[in-house]
Structure 1
Amino acid sequence: MAGGSAQAATTDVNVFFVVDTSSSIVAEDFGNRSPRLEGVRQDIMAIAGELAGARFSLLTFDSNAVVRMPRTTDTTALDTAVGVLQPQVTTFSKGSSVTAARKLLAERLRAARDSHPERPRLVYYLGDGEQTSAAAPDAIKVDGGLANGGAVLGYGMAEGGRMQENTGQRSGNDGGAGYIQDRTSGSGGDARLVIDEGRLRWIAGQLGVPYVHRSAGDAVAPMMQAADPGELRRAPEGAGLDGRTELYWIFASGAFLLGLREAFLLLRHWRRLPRAQAIPNAQAIPVAQEGTARQAEEART
């Protein structure tokens, strides 16, 4: 997004980040065997940089969906909230659905629309499509017009990666925590979860936004293809306030032209006024002074 006008337009945009924080988000197959969550953090802040001045909200989901940060223009607060994101504590994990945030997202989008219907709403879903719940995922589709753009961003590789356990303590990657074990087969060993791009594309179709796979070093532009506030406002007729065209400048221009015409007519009228009207008054002073001088002379004689 380039140009001052485009950047200024982002101040009227609400952006919702929906992040998968189930155990699979730390699978070590992003870049040089880094956790997928590292790519998520980088991309969120890159998008925030492109949409400077927008209002950002952060939602996360694993077994439950939570609002981590309500809407704010404070990108420092967003950076802090994103920086402390961790996967669900491993012992608490009982399986998660890729659409666990559907109700919470719909509520937040509806609240944003009701409070400021003129502001487009972008949704960025960041995850790997891994469905660990036994039940099939419910549709994440939101009411028409609630989401005006955004993208579904996918992380991970086909071969998958190992996932370090989250014990709930600050262990990091220093060897203090082990890796989640594969208990689905008798062979054991470290579990490896792979990206499910088919499911991510399905989610993108539900939200009406593009799907973009993300790898280390990828450009920002593909994530922004459906996030131009200028394009969002040029919605089809009948799309409501989100697609309205601002016409106030037409009336403002008309008022300016009328005022300019009145000023011209007034100036022309003033220039046509007879200059003689001011002359008698100017000559009356010397005449009056001459009469006063004669009277003074007569009084002395």
Structure 2
Amino acid sequence: MTILPIIPWGLLAAIGIAVIAFTVWAIVRSPQTKRRVRFTAFRGAAVVLLVLAALRPGWAGSEARTAVADLDVFFVVDTSTSMAAEDYNGTGTRLSGAANDVMAIAKELAGARFSLITFDNKATVRMPLSQDATALQTAMTTLQPQNPRYANGSSVTGAGTLLKDRLKAAREQHPGRPALVFYAGDGENTAAADPAPMPVDANTVSGGAVLGYGTGQGGRMKDPSDTAGGYLKDKNAGNSQDAVSRIDEGQLKNIAAQLHAPYVHRSGNEPTADMLAKAQPGALTPTVDDGPGRVELYWLLALAGFLLAVHEPLRHFTALREVRGQS
């Protein structure tokens, strides 16, 4: 259990000791009826409970929610065909893993403005900056990997120019507002040319992370045109075996270095807190401080103090009625 006192704890301790001493003195200073002794003890106990409530006792265990009102968060999500590979947390698709992490980050950074950029053959702004987390969830829920019929090679840095433009526009609109970038992909570059460097000015990025999905063993991808649920075939093997996509962590780490952000591999077994802890938390300044993952107990003490003190106004009301009845 921990305490987060609203005023210095030493002052609260002094007040508590003074209240206890005064209560004992009031009881023993002169003979009193049992009823008066009980009332005096109740008053003292109520004040002590309020002093304890001011200490704000609690313990870890609740769900932490961070409200970040002055923060822009850009999600850059790979939607190329390889993101349909089924090697995330068992047999889940890589894109499903990215969707889970995007919404987990949005939940932790409630109150920020979110933007979603996706890329395969081309980059697209799926959602401009907005505080509407429901719209973000809808966009991520409906997101699908590119149909291989229309795939002609994608670059892992294909969203770089669009991200640069969006970051610049956000900075011009709100100078000084921190921006986080979370890039989610598998690093598989299928374009004919090597990926161009990310044109993003690292000074415009206050934090974030590059999130990698997939395994070295790789995963197969369902063929959306096969109604029987078959998998895409490897053209290089004469379509005699299923195609397998493998993560390229080297490419992802290069992107992370260019963005000056950490690289984090996501397999579905790590908590969101681990991911955010590496995302330069200095930029994640909460506007509401409830303590990380904290169960507050002060209200129980305050309620108990109220119940002990509620007899006072009732006693005065009864006495007033008796006086009026005698007049």
Instruction: Please give the TM-score of this superposition, normalised by the length of structure 2.
Output: 0.65
The answer (yes or no) to whether the contact 1:96–1:133 under 8 Å persists in 2 is yes
Per the alignment, residue 50 of structure 1 pairs with 108
Q: Of the candidates 264, 268, 283, which is equivalent to residue 232 of structure 1?
A: 283
Alignment of 1:150-229 (within 5 A): 150-167=208-225, 175-186=227-238, 188-227=240-279
CA deviations over 1:189-248 (Å, ceiling 9, x no partner):
11001000111001100100000000123111222125466x2389xxxxxxxxxxxxxx
Of 180-189 and 145-154, deviating more is 180-189
The residue aligned with 2:82 is: 24
The question of whether the paired residues in 1 share the 8 Å contact of 2:76 and 2:181 is answered with: yes
The answer on whether the counterparts of 2:202 and 2:259 sit within 8 Å (CA) in structure 1 is no
Match of 2:183 in 1: 125
Tell me what 1:74 maps to.
Answer: 132
Q: Which residue of 2 aligns with 1:115?
A: 173
**Match of 1:7, SS?**
coil
State the partner residue of 1:36. 94
Q: Secondary structure at the match of 1:218?
A: coil
Higher relative contact order (CA 8 A, sep 6+): 2
CA drift of 1:188 comes to 2.5
Does residue 83 of the first structure (1) align with residue 134 of the second (2)? no
Percent identity over paired residues: 52
Q: Give 2:155's aligned amino acid.
A: S
* Structure having the higher Rg: 1
Please tell me the residue identity of whatever aligns with 2:247.
Answer: I
In the alignment, is the contact (CA less than 8 A) between 1:60 and 1:101 conserved in 2?
yes
SS in structure 1 opposite 2:87?
coil
How big is the alpha-carbon RMSD for the aligned residues of Structure 1 and Structure 2? 2.3
Task: Give the aligned partner of residue 267 of structure 1.
Answer: none
CA deviation profile, 1:88-133 (whole Å, cap 9, x unmatched): 1211100100000010000000001110112100000000000011
Which stretches in structure 2 are left out of the alignment for 5+ residues?
1-60, 286-327
1:149·1:226 contact (CA, 8 Å) conserved in 2? no
CA contact (8 A) 1:87 1:166 kept: no
Distance (Å, rounded) in 2 between the aligned partners of 1:208 and 1:228 = 10
Q: Which residue of 1 aligns with 2:22?
A: none
Aligned match of 2:66: 7
179 and 145 in structure 1: CA distance in 2 versus 1, 3 angstrom threshold: same
Deviations along 1:132-177, one digit per CA (max 9) or x if unpaired, are 111000001411411111000000011100011234xxx8xxx545
The one-letter code matched in structure 2 to 1:27 is A
TM-score, structure 1 normalization: 0.70
Following the alignment from structure 1 to structure 2, what is the Cα–Cα distance between the partners of residues 233 and 23?
33
Asked if the contact 1:128/1:197 (under 8 Å) is kept, the reply is yes
Q: Distance in 2 between matches of 1:223 and 1:62?
A: 24
Structure 1 stretches of 5 or more lacking a match?
235-301
Paired amino acid for 2:237: S
Tell me the secondary structure at the aligned position of residue 69 of structure 2: helix
Matched positions, count: 224
